[in-house]
A and B are shown apart, each in its own frame.
Chain A
Amino acid sequence: TQLLEQSPQFLSIQEGENLTVYCNSSSVFSSLQWYRQEPGEGPVLLVTVVTGGEVKKLKRLTFQFGDARKDSSLHITAAQPGDTGLYLCAGSFGNEKLTFGTGTRLTIIP
């Protein structure tokens, strides 16, 4: 079983602070996606990374794919209450099936 571990599991910070969440695996990803899921909704795709060392930015969110394509990080600058949600990474290991991580539940306190 290919396991994706996300850390931390829970994170609660004040508005305006910066944070980083991580997604790690012992296996090499062919591609990795980050999703945000709000209560009562399905996950929504934020970004896809494919190349080792790749960095993508989406406004205040910065996504990085590890050089060895086994890990990824999501950094949020100046967090806002609207960033609150469950952040999920999902990896493809050479086929089309997505394997999701356990998620990081982020709460931004106004």
Chain B
Amino acid sequence: EAGVAQSPRYKIIEKRQSVAFWCNPISGHATLYWYQQILGQGPKLLIQFQNNGVVDDSQLPKDRFSAERLKGVDSTLKIQPAKLEDSAVYLCASSLVLSWGRPVGAKNIQYFGAGTRLSVL
């Protein structure tokens, strides 16, 4: 079974430029997550989709970040304009179902992609 695919693997841009990341989740997974992982820290959830609807975007800096999952499969995360502090690894994860407080089981385990490493100069 193919894992979560992300592209590009690396991206270097100058501040104030725009950038987009792409994620293809595991086939059949309804829930998709975007995380930001700054060097030396754990991942921080940016946005969570259930099919093509947003479940949680409370930690997404909406003045510059946007994300969409139009057909409930692939997703894109965009930053416009980028700032120096946006330098990080952007991880995409997917799970079969949304847990909504249910005990964690095989169906709501999150599987992560390898991430996109963004450097803003």
Contact = CB atoms under 8 A, between A and B. Distances in A.
Nearest to B102: A96
B21 interface: no
A98 B101 contact: no
B48 interface: yes
Interface stretch (B12-20, B69-77, B78-86, B107-115): B107-115
A92 interface: yes
Interface in B16-40: 40
A98 B45 CA distance: 8
Interface string A89-100: 010101111111
Contact of B101 (A30, A101, A102): A30
B contact residues, range:
20 to 34
Nearest to A45: B109
A92 B95 CA distance: 15
B114 A41 contact: yes
Nearest to B99: A96
Interface centre among A41, A45, A50, A96 (most CB of B within 10 A): A96
A25 interface: no
Contacts of A96: 98-102, 108
Interface of B: 4, 40-45, 48, 56, 91, 93, 98-104, 108-115
18 contacts: A40-B114, A42-B93, A42-B114, A44-B112, A45-B110, A48-B109, A50-B104, A88-B42, A92-B99, A92-B104, A95-B101, A96-B98, A96-B100, A98-B110, A100-B42, A100-B44, A101-B42, A102-B41
Q: Closest 5 A-B residue pairs measured CB to CB? A: A42-B112, A100-B42, A96-B99, A48-B104, A31-B104
